[in-house]
Amino acid sequence: MALSETIKAGPAAGKLDHIPGHMGLPIFGNTFEFIKDPFAFHQWQRERYGPIYKVSIFGGQTVVLRGADALEYVLMDRDKNFGSREGWRLLQQLFPNGLMLRDFDDHRSHRRIMQVAFKPKPMQDYMLRLNEGIASNLTAWAPSQRFEFYPAIKNLTLELGASVFLGLEMGDEAAQLNQAFVDEVAASIAVIRKPWPGTKMRRGVKARAFLLEYFRDMIPARRDGDGDDMFSQFCQAKSEDGAFFSDDEIVDHLNFLLMAAHDTTTSALTTMIWALARYPEWQDAVRGEVMALGTEQLDYDAMDRLELTERVFKEALRFRPPVPFLPRFARRPFEFGGYEIPGETSISVSPGLVAMSETIWTDPTRFDPDRFSDNRAEDRRHRFGWSPFGGGAHKCIGMHFAIMQVRAFVHQFVQHYRVALPEGYQPRWQTIPIPKPKDGLPVILSKL
């Protein structure tokens, strides 16, 4: 049967009877259990049903494939079977044409154009903007016995994003832009999927319209100018046959890119600072290697010399990955782990669950950056053991940018401040859609 016929043949409902799993409540399925604690939910399923099971989340049945082999098989997708657009269906209303919601040839041609903005020369320009933005924002932080780190870093990453991505100084519109991103992300996991009045989805859809219009107004100046921000790069980049992105493509790409960059990096930096506060010996080690570089701001060429910082950051991403679950949509039937899985089935693979796997990591629940040292190299036990940035065709396009931003921030932060946790502090995290501390992560911030 041709692929187009298979796709029209209707959903996979009823075809998953041979896959084990507990589908929860009528209508809502396992959604509430999953939102409450995704890791505990999956552990429960794994213990009962093994490494392959079905769940029902956000109104759709999904087959979960556990383990690093499954991650590799699905993400490398040698048979072009696993669509990302249909997989990320929760994002379709809000980010319909973002890079991650494109597939195969169309995805490849858009990605190739966007890559221009991530080459070494533009990256060096972004580094200057990052360093400048971090320096001016950090000096305004007020040391306190109860400094809420999460809102402060979210505000900082928004300012950096405005500068690097849009070429803007953030002014009065900062709060409105921030709220629009918050509303878009919150809508992505809204239980009510229709934009009815008063719903999260309605706020998300309105936020999208606001942001698209905001970006669209800036296109003419970016097309004519010679700015070194990402927005300008997208306006001027051409495909192999000389075509520019259309205005619609530009605003959609920017909207998705900012969302993909903002909350993920904020989340990663929050876990990183929690780790430095929780493990003062690592904070001292990181500060030591930063001081040894002897520069106020991090040079682009010196980035790779922050080896211990890198270890802590890798462990922070393993410990609390910003994107723990990756959905895909199987277009055709396939076989994996002894099961025949029918076509038109939603699939979920998980870098977050693999990051806690005892078959790959030694004592995985322990925060232990040295597992990434050359002599232990636990991350090299499987190609997909450590994959917080995904892998294959959709591997995070902003990975190097994110790593650069985190290094630039930590480099300045530890030179100015010491950070500690209040006595007996236990963080409470919201895991999805992107992990964040429910209490804003109150830390003791003191000047060095």
Residues in contact with ligand HEM, total (CB under 6 A)? 22
Q: Which of 62, 84, 255, 270 binds ligand HEM (CB under 6 A)?
A: 84
Of the listed pieces 18-26, 119-127, 320-328, 436-444, which binds ligand HEM according to CB under 6 A? 320-328
Of the listed pieces 174-182, 193-201, 208-216, 264-272, which binds ligand HEM according to CB under 6 A? 264-272
Of the listed pieces 205-213, 263-271, 285-293, 338-346, which binds ligand HEM according to CB under 6 A? 263-271
Q: Which of 22, 46, 111, 200 binds ligand HEM (CB under 6 A)?
A: 111
Of the listed pieces 55-63, 120-128, 280-288, 383-391, which binds ligand HEM according to CB under 6 A? 383-391
The strand order across the sheet containing 417-420 reads 144-148, 442-447, 417-420
Nearer to ligand HEM, 33 or 229 (CB): 229
Length of the chain: 448
Closest to 31 measured CA to CA, from 64, 5, 60: 60
Taking CB under 6 A as the rule, does residue 397 contact ligand HEM?
Answer: yes
Q: Which of residues 127-156 bind ligand HEM (CB under 6 A)?
A: none
Instruction: Count Cβ neighbours within 10 Å for each residue of 16-50 and write b for 16 or more, e otherwise.
Output: beebebeebeeeebbbebbbeebeebbeebbeebe
Closest to 185 measured CA to CA, from 269, 270, 252, 90: 90
Q: Which of residues 207-236 bind ligand HEM (CB under 6 A)?
A: none
Query: Closest distance between ligand HEM and the C-beta of residue 22, in Å?
Result: 26
Closest to 110 measured CA to CA, from 306, 329, 397: 397
Q: Which residues contact 239 (CB under 8 A, 6 or more apart)?
A: 109, 112, 113
Nearer to ligand HEM, 268 or 421 (CB): 268
Closest to 183 measured CA to CA, from 70, 263, 112: 263
Query: Closest distance between ligand HEM and the C-beta of residue 421, in Å?
Result: 22
Distance between CA 23 and CA 29 in Å, rounded?
5
φ/ψ (deg, to 5) at 443: -125, 165
| Binding footprint of ligand HEM on the chain (CB under 6 A) | 84, 99-100, 111, 257, 260-261, 264-265, 268, 322-323, 326, 388-390, 394, 396-398, 401-402
